[in-house]
Amino acid sequence: MAYIQQHATETPVPVRLGLIGSGWMGAFHGESITRRVPGAVLAAVADPNLDSAVSVAAKLGAAKVTADAADILADPEIDAVIIASPARFHASLITQAAEAGKHVFCEKPGAQSLEELDAALRTVDAAGVHFQIGFNRRYAADFQAAKKDLAQGIVGEPQLLRSLTRDPGTGSIGHAARIPAWTIFLETLIHDFDTLNWFNEGAEPVEVYAAADALVEPGLRDQGFLDTAVVTIRYSNGALAVAEANFSALYGYDVRGEVFGSKGMVQAGRATETAAVRYSAEGLSADTPRLNVELFRGAYTDELVDFAAAVRARRDGTQLPSGAYTLTPGAADARRALAMALACIESVKRGGPVPVAEKAGV
């Protein structure tokens, strides 16, 4: 018996990724790379908390472990890095990675000030490396379906936009005292700002007016802690948007987006885990996602699939097919959303609207 078919097969060289920061998000990204991103390997893990790095590397089979990200950056076998350290280290890690010639995926925010971000992005530019920021919401199937409608003009000219994030919680935030100031804008609503910018592509955010308070943890109000916020945004094409966030939704993780335009409306996001609805004597009910990694499991995977494909194309000199709409969030997107978050901080301090172009600093 002979084979009826025989192809010459070439095993593609996998994209070798180094993880910098192996906490909550980094460990999940590591798991996605190992289990769900074809053609990518988690080659090394760095975390100053060596126990964390060792345990994540052991669980995921990463061969190299270090407490110092510099080891990963100096490693010629690593193509690219995933930065998932706390936000205050992002700008300097982006800079160091680009200087070492590594392609960069960085969790949001890219930096905590525009000065820092601009300096880091100049290094990225000079090194000619690929840069992607972790605005994972773009990769959720329903947000992409909405984007496709917008790109095809089905919704018409955007007039009103809405984006909301309600983090899952228990009604109190045990670790609130350890949450850095202004996190609600710099690390939470920054996702909503990117969603709105992406949905309203081609327009620039002109002005924001933010109101925020500690309603979940009122005892921490005097220390400047904020867990609830609403932002109105005026765009250059005249569209008006609202973004809102709260850190403690008892019913689970709730992320939604909406665009109302001259021809109709499109909505994305749902608060239920699946489309299944339970009918019983008590009425209707449904399960809800309790964690970001449940609601956005696919989106967190696909943003890394996109990143690995871009790194592979750069490394191997191949061309990526162009899509029907813009997808990959890059340097300009990181900057635009950060400028909005910083303007929101200034708006809360002043109690009035703030032009986004003012480039407020924290």
Q: Which is nearer to ligand NAD, 207 or 227 (CB)?
A: 227
Residues making contact with ligand NAD (CB under 6 A): 20-26, 46-49, 52, 69, 84-87, 89, 107-108, 134, 136, 187, 292
Q: H-type helices in 162-287, by residue range?
A: 183, 190-199
Largest interatomic CA distance in the chain: 81
Distance CA 356, CA 337 (A): 10
The residue sitting closest to ligand NAD, measured at its beta carbon, is 23
Q: Which is nearer to ligand NAD, 209 or 253 (CB)?
A: 253
Q: Which is nearer to ligand NAD, 79 or 194 (CB)?
A: 194
DSSP letters of 77-125? T--EEEE-S-GGGHHHHHHHHHHTT-EEEEPSPS-SSHHHHHHHHHHHH
Q: Which is nearer to ligand NAD, 239 or 331 (CB)?
A: 331
Q: Which is nearer to ligand NAD, 195 or 292 (CB)?
A: 292
CB of 138 to ligand NAD, least distance (A): 11
CB of 89 to ligand NAD, least distance (A): 4
CB of 174 to ligand NAD, least distance (A): 14
Q: Which is nearer to ligand NAD, 24 or 141 (CB)?
A: 24
CB of 195 to ligand NAD, least distance (A): 12
Nearest to 22 by CA among 31, 9, 11, 14: 31
Residues facing 285 on adjacent strands:
278
Nearest to 216 by CA among 179, 168, 248: 248
Q: Are 37 and 63 in contact (CB under 8 A)?
A: no
**What is the helix (H) or strand (E) element at residue 333, kind and residue range?**
helix 331-350
CB of 215 to ligand NAD, least distance (A): 22
Distance CA 118, CA 114 (A): 6
CB of 238 to ligand NAD, least distance (A): 30
